Chains A and B, each alone.
Chain A
Amino acid sequence: MIDQITSVVGKSIILALGGYFEFFTTHLGELTRLLIEHVRIAVFTLVIAVPLGVVLGTIVSVYERAASPILWAAGIMQTIPSIAFFGLLIPVFGIGTPSVVIALVLYSQLPIVRNTYIGLTQVNQAAVEAGRGLGMSRFERLRRVQLPMALPVIMAGVRNAVVLVIGIAAIGAFIGAGGLGDYLFQGIRERNVDMIVVTTIVLSALALAFDYGLGISARLLRARNGEDVRTTRVTRLLQQVIA
């Protein structure tokens, strides 16, 4: 009996895996195209979101009074369901990539602004005070002391934002932005489980790859800041390449 069950389960697993693999190989070209589209949306978003978030976070760290309203607004953004957000933006920016990118930029502000603010305000105060006493203007202190010291914390915020953006970008397919979301929605419509599972795996792999890459760059930044970082083989390799 038990043998029967295991053999049935085993067979169906093999069958399913075979199906996923077959789907993957036969749709490789289309999957690659959607993946590139997806990455493009994410990169567009980050090119706008990272500078915006860092600037906002910096302003907030200098003008403390702006801190709670801006962080509050960024927090509110995240509570709006993405579909509703896209719907609100369509009348203004139309169907397609622009609306999705704008929504994603707004979503990603909370982690970036918050981490920039925390990073800048938690920099060793003695170093900031020494910079003041040595004749650095406020801008010079920011550029030479606070921002470089806060960079690893800011990077952690960017990492959060990237994973968030890649996930939500999939829903952007609903309003015609393309990307891997196209296959997800198609798979749901056609009840094509192979399609859904394979696309999900690709999507997760993409998020993990971005996260891993940024994790390594964060570690490189810490090492450059003179911190004792436990280096993995990849980090050491990159360090050698950079050096």
Chain B
Amino acid sequence: MTTNTIEFDDVTKVYGDDMVAIEDVTYGVEKGTTTVLVGPSGCGKTTTMELVNRLEDPTEGTVYYEGTDIQELDRIQLRREIGYVIQEIGLFDHMTVGENVATVPELKGWDRDRINDRIDELLDLMDLPPTEYRDQYPRSLSGGQRQRVGIARALAGDPDVLLMDEPFGALDPITRETLQNEFLEIQEKINTTILFVTHSIDEALKMGDKIAIYDVGEVVQYGTPQEILESPANNFVEDFVGADRGLKRLQVTQVKELLAAPVKEAESGGRGVAVATDGNGSHELSPTDSAQVALSRMIQYDVETLPVTDDGRVVGEIEKSDIHQIARTEG
């Protein structure tokens, strides 16, 4: 209980007289992890999120933030400690990109130099060069760029928790995937506890350390992507995850998890073996590639094994049978 940044304890939210949005929700969000709330629309995932920054208050039960009942915290102060990104983005169109990002630091009363440094730092992080974008107005940006600004704005106040409500939902598939990948990298750098709402199981499997699957107001399964793919709790989860969960498991498994001892061996062996490329250059795999990428390359190049390299050194080898093994083990 103490390591959890956010804790839902038997939380129920009822709108009006009898519209039950969520019922008896109990789980904890570990510090520094990304928890994805996923389920069909109207299942209560957004409501759960809105309880965290007190846009809504629970009807019954308690939400704890760093061990404190959030009902005891000032809601304005709380929201300034919690980043917030919504699907509609909601940028302030009358302010420049820089002014948008400065919103929470200004509310918190930071001094001007610190705010300016923070704006540049975040725009750099979001791949929007400050010299070019800082003084632009949101109207002149593309959808993907606007959402980058939205995320930068949410991160500006150095929040401990980041809430993201379908942040990539309104983007085209290509932009969405780019932003997902970028955000995975950013996530490693910022070490923030993230609550992420989506209706897409693929996005959930990709983004989440933990996943909470919702079905009309209830959490039906809470676990890691691997756990959910290996042993769906019931028929609903099984259907929701889809018939191709063997393949999905390939998506959530990284190549480095398939490498056994060789990684250590190669490291102790100093420089290791230089890789001979055949001109295509992308023959070898990186340890963070997914097993799905590995399999697709094997099919593409019609080979049974592929080398895995890290920083130009071979750290191991991966065989097609290893990959088949993951897809086959059904829970």
- Pairwise interchain contact B89-A126, C-beta atoms closer than 8 A: yes
B103 interface hit (Cβ, 8 Å)? yes
A224 to B95, CA, bound (A): 8
A127-B92, A129-B88, A130-B88 given; 13 more Cβ-contact pairs under 8 Å: A124-B93, A126-B88, A130-B86, A130-B91, A132-B55, A133-B163, A134-B79, A134-B153, A135-B78, A135-B80, A136-B107, A225-B93, A226-B95
In the complex, whether B104 has a CB less than 8 A from a CB of chain A is yes
State which of A128, A134, A224, A228 has its C-beta within 8 Å of the C-beta of B103.
A134
Q: Would you call A22 an interface residue if the criterion is a C-beta within 8 Å of the partner chain's C-beta atoms?
A: no
Contact B139 A227 (CB under 8 A): yes
0/1 per residue, B88-104, Cβ < 8 Å to A? Answer: 11111111100000011
Q: Mark B14-31, 1 if CB is under 8 A from A, else 0.
A: 000000000000000000
Q: Which one of B77, B80, B90 lies within 8 Å of A127 (CB-CB)?
A: B90
Q: A133-B53, A148-B94, A149-B93 are in contact. Are A126 and B76 (CB under 8 A)?
A: no
Tell me the chain B residues, 156-179 only, with Cβ under 8 Å from chain A.
163
Q: Which residues of B contact A (CB under 8 A)?
A: 53, 55, 76-80, 84, 86, 88-96, 103-104, 107, 137-140, 150, 153-154, 163
Flag A125-164 by CB within 8 Å of B: 1 or 0 each: 0111111111111001000110011000000000000000
Q: Which residues of A contact B92 (CB under 8 A)?
A: 127, 130-131, 144-145, 149
Distance to closest chain B CB from A135 (angstroms): 3
Bound Cα distance A128, B92 (Å): 9
A135 to B154, CA, bound (A): 11
The interface residues of chain B lying within 8 Å CB-to-CB of A226 are 93-96, 137-140
A135-B77, A135-B107, A148-B94 in contact; A130/B89 too (CB < 8 A)? yes
Minimal Cβ-Cβ distance residue in B for A137: B76
Q: How far is the CB of B89 from chain A (nearest CB, A)?
A: 7
- A residues less than 8 Å from B163 (CB atoms): 133
B86 engages A133 (CB within 8 Å): yes
| CB neighbours of A228 from chain B (8 A) | 139
Contacts of B84 in A (CB 8 A): 130, 133-134
A129 engages B86 (CB within 8 Å) = yes
* Cβ-defined contact, B93 with A127, below 8 A: yes
Q: Which of B84, B89, B153 has the most CB of A within 10 A?
A: B84
Give A130 to B151 CA distance when docked, in angstroms.
12
Distance (Å) between the CB of B312 and the closest chain A CB?
44
- By the criterion CB–CB under 8 Å, are A134 and B80 in contact? yes
Q: Which of A127, A224, A227 contacts B91 (CB 8 A)?
A: A127
Structural contact, B107 and A140, CB atoms closer than 8 A: yes
Q: B88 → chain A, closest Cβ, in Å? A: 4
Instruction: Name 21 interchain pairs, CB-CB below 8 A, sorted by A.
Output: A126-B88, A126-B90, A127-B90, A127-B91, A127-B93, A129-B86, A129-B90, A130-B92, A130-B150, A131-B92, A133-B53, A133-B84, A133-B86, A133-B163, A134-B107, A144-B92, A144-B103, A149-B93, A226-B95, A226-B138, A226-B139
- A135, B137: Cβ atoms closer than 8 Å: no
Q: Cα distance A132–B104 when bound, in Å?
A: 11
A residues in contact with B91, CB < 8 Å: 127, 130
Residues of B within 8 A of A135 (CB): 76-80, 104, 107
Closest to B156 in A: A134
Q: How far is the CB of B145 from chain A (nearest CB, A)?
A: 14
Contact B90 A124 (CB under 8 A): yes
How far apart are the CA atoms of A227 and B139 in the complex, in Å? 7
CA distance A134 to B96 in the complex (A): 17
Contact B93 A134 (CB under 8 A): no
Q: In the complex, what distance in Å separates the CA atom of A130 from the CA atom of B149?
A: 13
Smallest CB separation, A214 vs chain B (Å):
19
The smallest beta-carbon distance between B309 and chain A, in angstroms, is 43
B165–chain A nearest beta-carbon distance, Å: 9
Q: Are B107 and A149 in contact (CB under 8 A)?
A: no
CB distance from B6 to the nearest CB of A (A): 16
Residues from 88 to 143 in A contacting B, C-beta threshold 8 Å: 124, 126-137, 140
A148 to B92, CA, bound (A): 10
Complex Cα distance, B92 from A144, in Å, reads 9
- A225 to B77, Cβ gap below 8 A? no
Residues of B within 8 A of A224 (CB): 94
B94 engages A149 (CB within 8 Å): yes
Q: What is the CA–CA distance of A217 and B163 in the complex, to the nearest angstrom?
A: 40
Q: How far is the CA of A129 from the CA of B80 in the complex (A)?
A: 14
Docked Cα-Cα span, A19 to B154, in Å, equals 70
Q: CA of A209 to CA of B121 in the docked complex: distance in angstroms?
A: 48
Within the assembled complex, what's the spacing in Å between the Cα atoms of A130 and B91? 8
A140 to B53, CA, bound (A): 18
B-side contacts of A149, CB under 8 Å: 92-94
A149 to B94 alpha-carbon distance, docked (Å): 6
Separation in Å of the B90 CB from the closest CB of chain A? 3
CB–CB B55/A133 < 8 A: yes
Contact A126 B79 (CB under 8 A): no
Cα separation A62 to B92 with both chains bound (whole Å): 20
Bound-state Cα–Cα, A165 to B275, Å? 83
Closest 10 CB pairs of A and B: A226-B137, A130-B90, A135-B79, A126-B88, A126-B90, A133-B84, A135-B80, A225-B94, A127-B90, A148-B94
